[in-house]
Every structure is written in C-alpha cells, then in structure tokens.
Structure 1
Amino acid sequence: MSGGPGGRSAEGTEHLGEAANASARSIRPRQVLTVSRPALWINTVGVLVTGLWLCGQLYTPSPAFWTLLAYLTLPYNLLIYGLNDLSDRAEDALSPRKGGWQGARLRAAEAKPLLTWILALNLPFLLLLAWLLPPAALALLLLSAALFAGYSLPPLRFKARPLLDGLSNVAYALPLILPALLLGRPLPWLAVLALCAYSVGKHAFDAAQDSESDRNAGLTTTAVWLGVRGTALYACGWFVLAGALLWPLSRLSALALLVVCGGMALRLWRTPDVNTAARLYPLSIVTPWIVGGVSGVQLVYLLVRGLY
C-alpha cells in the first residue's frame, strides 16, 4: 500500500522510531567519557602520583602502581560520577548546569547501558588489582569505592544526609595512602588528614550552587541545610583546618590553599547566593591544580636534589 508521496511514511516513521529507541538504549563512548568528568581526573590520578612522591620516589617500575594509575582514570571516575548521575536524575533535571561537562542529564532508558559500562570498565581492573595489590591497599581501594557508591546509591545515599555527604568525600584522600602501602613506606598522615579536610570543605562549597535545585527536588544536603552563607563559613572552616595540617609539611602549600580556597569561601560568604557559587565553581575546579601544583613542584625539586 505504498502509492503516492506518503506511501512510505508509516514504514519510515516506524524505522525512525526503532532507531531512536535503539539510540536511547545505548550510550556512545564519547558520552561515557563525558560522564566520567575528565576535568576532575586530577582528583584521583594527581592524588596517587603525589602519594608516590611523598614516599620519596619520582618513579616506580611497579606493575601494580601503573595498573592502579590506569584504573584511577576513566574506570574509577566513571564509577564515581556515573553512579551519581544515575541517582541524581530528578535533581539534575532541575539544574541548569547539568547536561554538559559539569554532569550528565540522563534519560531513564540510558540508566542500564551506563551501569553496564561502569561494571564492564571496573570489574576487570578490580580483579587484576586484587591479584597485584597487597591486602591492605586493596582493602583501602575498595573502601574508597564503597564510600563513593554509598554517596550516590540507596539505602545509604550519603548525599541526602547533611554532614555525612561531605564527610564521605574523604574517599578522595584515600588514594594518597596507596603508594605507601604498595611500597612498604610510612603513611603520610598529615598530608592525608589535610586532604580529607580539604575534600569535605570543597564538597560543601561546590554543593552551594545546587542548593536551590536540590531543595526543589526534595533533597536535603549540607548546603540546603545550612544555606549558602552558612555553607560558605562551614567550607572555610575545613579549608583553614586543611591549611593548618599542611603548615608543618609545607608553608607555601598551606598558604596557597588558604589564599585560594579560603578566599573563594569568603567571597561566597559576602555574596551568599547560588549565582555567585556558580561563578566561583570554575575556580573551585582548578584549586586541586593550583594547590597540587605548588606542592608537586616542591616535592619534585626536593627529590631531584636529594633533599627529601
């Protein structure tokens, strides 16, 4: 029954519908990469490399270390942010900043394909690392992954629990310990505690820009609970603690953290609204590069000169 210009329209529409449904049931590799937030990989890769330098080594031939470094790129970050995007579909639909490099805006049909990608990229690495890593390092890595999963997924879903949402983000600091466990060196406790404090403060600061959309979606985060001004002071307190813990290790690093992170928190306190928080967010994104760069350059210099 295909006479005339519209004779093929029903069939064509059916094929287009099937193609759209197939597209909805799949996620392209480029989209998977976007979900993993490559701009934030420094938070995992950079921490591991800094941990190696804190052990007094610029380089290690250890296959376990390089496998771990590869895992902390796309697979691990897809676990962190993919699970977060899956659980935050309601909130992300109300957030104007989602749908690009700051986070995906997923459709219901994309949930299962994304979960498949997360499992496919994480499980092989975890099985290999279970063979390569010493038990303590493997346990710490799994604890970090479990905290990130608990942040996003029910029944724990720390994101919806004021204070616990930020405290669970100490998971970002745990990879700093892994090189020491791998190489049998003393644990860098002051650096770890400083990074824990920084991570809690940064989580609160970054969440301030989403406080309105989170509140509208019925989600109570620390930023929703404290309000933007209260969140700015709360974050600043953690940044001051992080700087104090860094001070005995490197005054220059401590000052960089206090000036950059403390400064942006005070700026938000003076103008406490979500628009100011959103404008400051790009600076928050680069704070690990700034503070990490100051610390890393000093460490590399001391290691090359044989002074550390």
Structure 2
Amino acid sequence: MTACATAPRAGARRAEGTPIADPDGRPTRTPTRTIGPVVARLVHISRPVLWINTIGSGVVGVWLTGTLMDVRALPVLLWLTLPFNLLIYGVNDIYDQDTDAANPRKGSIEGARIRPSEVRLIAWAVAVTNVPFLIYFGLALPAAANAAIALYASIFVFYSAPPLRFKARPFLDSISNAAYALPLVIVPFALGVAPVWPAALGLMAWSVAKHPFDAVQDIVEDREAGITTTAVRLGPRGVALWSGSWWALSSVLFALVSVPVAVVNLAIAGLLVVRLLRDPTPATAHRLYPLSVAFPYVAGSFTGVLLTVAIFFGWYP
C-alpha cells in the first residue's frame, strides 16, 4: 500500500485532543487542550523552587518594617510569586533556547527547556500576569516604590533580552543580580516606611555572590555557545574567590542588623566556597547546587524566626 493511500485526506478533521507534532517533532495537542496543562507548564517555567528569592525577600521586607503583616503589602507579595518569576525566567528561556537545548539541567526542576512554538504563549503570559499589577502599582503606590519596581522589572528583562543582555556581559551579569534585593526597598516604600538599608545592601551583596557561583556548573555550555559570563571569565577558582568576597561583605552588612544572621550566612557561604576551592570544577559546582538552592531557605528561615519572635515580644524595631 502506498504512502498516499495511508495519509489522511486534505482537510480531514482530526479527532479532538488527538496528539499531533509541533515543528520540533515533539507531541503536543490541538488547541482544545485544557487550561490545566498550560498553567502547569507556565508554573514550571517560572521555577517555583526559586520563588524564595522574590517572595521571601518581600516577606522579610514587611517584617523589617516592624509588623508581621500589612494588608497594603499583599498586592506586591502576590506579584512576587508567579507573575514576576514568570517574567524573570520566561524572558530568560525565550532568549536562551540555544544554550538551554544543550544544557542537561534544563527540562527538570532546575529550569524548563522550551519549544519555539511556546514563545508566543510565554510572552503573552508574562504580559497578562504582570501588566495589571504594574498599572495598579502606578495608581496606588508612592513614586519611590514605583521607581524601585520599574528598576526591578527592567533589570531582569534586560538581564536576558537584547540590546543590554547583562547575562552575556562578565561582571555585569553578577552585579545586575543585586536587583534580587529590591523587594527590601520596594515593600517599605510601598508602606511609606524607610528601608533598612544595611539589610538591603547586604542582600544585594549576597545576590551578586550567588549568581556566578551557581553559573559555574554551566561554564562548558556557556563557553560553547559563545557566552562569556563572570563564571566563564574567572573560572571555578576565581568565582570561589569573587563570590566569597561578596558573601563576606554581605555578612558584615547583615551584622549591622543581626549578628546571629551574619554568622549563619557566613557559615553556609564559607562551606560552599571552601568546597569549590578544594575541587574547582563545574562538576563540583553542580553537586553543590542543591545546597546553594537551600541557602536562602535556611538563612531566610533563621532570619524570619528571629524577626517574628522579636516583633511578637516588642523587641523590634
């Protein structure tokens, strides 16, 4: 029997929900697919394991104002969950398709590997989930808070997107990640309170350190793609020294607010740096990555307990 005899007639109706192939040859579904899988896919792209870096900073920002919760902060905290993380990582995945295709970490909990056919969906999802919040903030929040929000969003868009693309500029890729600390500035400004600057600057230094440390595991893929990151430029040993210096600075700044928090921060950072110095390879950085991901959870939880206890008993501020 010839191939023509077995092919479906032109214009034949495909059964609803029947798997088809996208341009990459991977199975997908007709437009009648349910919304659930789409939402699940977008959540995966937003890397929920890393939401702690945005929502965690926002919650600590509330606590640093001297209250456990202020309802006026809820819109900002909600924005710092799926919407803003989809902006960070959705834009990143759109512009990093080539390197992600060769990266064995992608397609797992550590990050999505998107298909070209998903780019439009991701772009629309980023706009739909973020623009309403930004309009509300523009109408409801003070100018200082909106300026910090604009800076926050812009840095993360242009971390991945041209023409700036900080990701591909050594040292700028690391320094631009200081923006992860901006919720410690945004939330107080939104509530009409001055930020606790030693805490905000300490978290900025911490974030500058963490970015290249985590990027060491991607040195091979980034170098092959022609992307010169801080990790590619410095190499594993150089990153250990670079990150160690910034983490030490962050501990000094944290000590101005809380010595116990500074000690915990220095202990975890020291463990990461020493282990990478002992075996300075991308493989070592990959083995250390779970501990690096846990770093903000452990240090943040410790900070949160101290703050909540102090606020409850009236010891802070």
TM-score bracket relative to the smaller structure = over 0.9
Gaps of 5+ in 2: 32-36
For the 8 Å contact 1:25–1:109, the answer to whether it is kept is no
Residue 5 of structure 1, CA deviation = 11
Supply the AA of the counterpart residue of 1:51: G
Partner of 1:20: 21
**Cα distance in 2 for residues equivalent to 1:267 and 1:279:** 10
Q: Deviations over 1:24-76 (max 9, x none)?
A: 898821110000011111111111110111111112132xx111111110000
For the 8 Å contact 2:20–2:30, the answer to whether it is kept is no
Q: Deviations over 1:111-156 (max 9, x none)?
A: 1221111111111121122222111101111110000011000000
Partner of 2:259: 251
Residue 287 of structure 1, CA deviation = 0.7
Distance 1:81 1:170, change over 3 A: same
**Cα distance in 1 for residues equivalent to 2:244 and 2:30:** 43
Supply the AA of the counterpart residue of 1:254: A
Give the alignment's Cα RMSD to 1 decimal: 2.2
| Alignment counterpart, residue 58 of structure 2, candidates 29, 42, 48 | 48
Q: Deviations over 1:141-189 (max 9, x none)?
A: 1110000011000000000000000111111000111222122222211
**Cα distance in 2 for residues equivalent to 1:20 and 1:122:** 31
| Alignment counterpart, residue 57 of structure 1, candidates 58, 62, 67 | 67
**Cα distance in 1 for residues equivalent to 2:91 and 2:71:** 33
TM-score (norm 1): 0.93
Partner of 1:38: 48
Which SS does the other structure have where 2:21 is aligned?
Answer: helix
For the 8 Å contact 2:219–2:282, the answer to whether it is kept is yes
Residue 8 of structure 1, CA deviation = 7.1
Supply the AA of the counterpart residue of 2:278: R
Which SS does the other structure have where 2:315 is aligned?
Answer: coil
Aligned residues: 303
For the 8 Å contact 2:19–2:30, the answer to whether it is kept is no
For the 8 Å contact 1:160–1:219, the answer to whether it is kept is yes
Residue 20 of structure 1, CA deviation = 2.6
Partner of 1:285: 293
Partner of 1:266: 274
Supply the AA of the counterpart residue of 1:133: L
Residue 18 of structure 1, CA deviation = 8.6
Quick check: 1:229 aligned with 2:208?
Answer: no
For the 8 Å contact 2:159–2:165, the answer to whether it is kept is yes
For the 8 Å contact 2:255–2:261, the answer to whether it is kept is yes
For the 8 Å contact 1:159–1:221, the answer to whether it is kept is yes
**Cα distance in 2 for residues equivalent to 1:252 and 1:8:** 76
Quick check: 1:96 aligned with 2:98?
Answer: no
Partner of 2:190: 182
Worse-superposed segment, 127-136 or 7-16: 7-16
**Cα distance in 2 for residues equivalent to 1:25 and 1:207:** 37
For the 8 Å contact 1:233–1:266, the answer to whether it is kept is no
Quick check: 1:10 aligned with 2:7?
Answer: yes
For the 8 Å contact 2:173–2:230, the answer to whether it is kept is yes
**Cα distance in 1 for residues equivalent to 2:103 and 2:30:** 24
Work out the percentage of aligned pairs sharing the same amino acid.
44
Task: Give 1:78-93 correspondences, 5 Å limit.
Answer: 78-93=86-101
Quick check: 1:147 aligned with 2:155?
Answer: yes
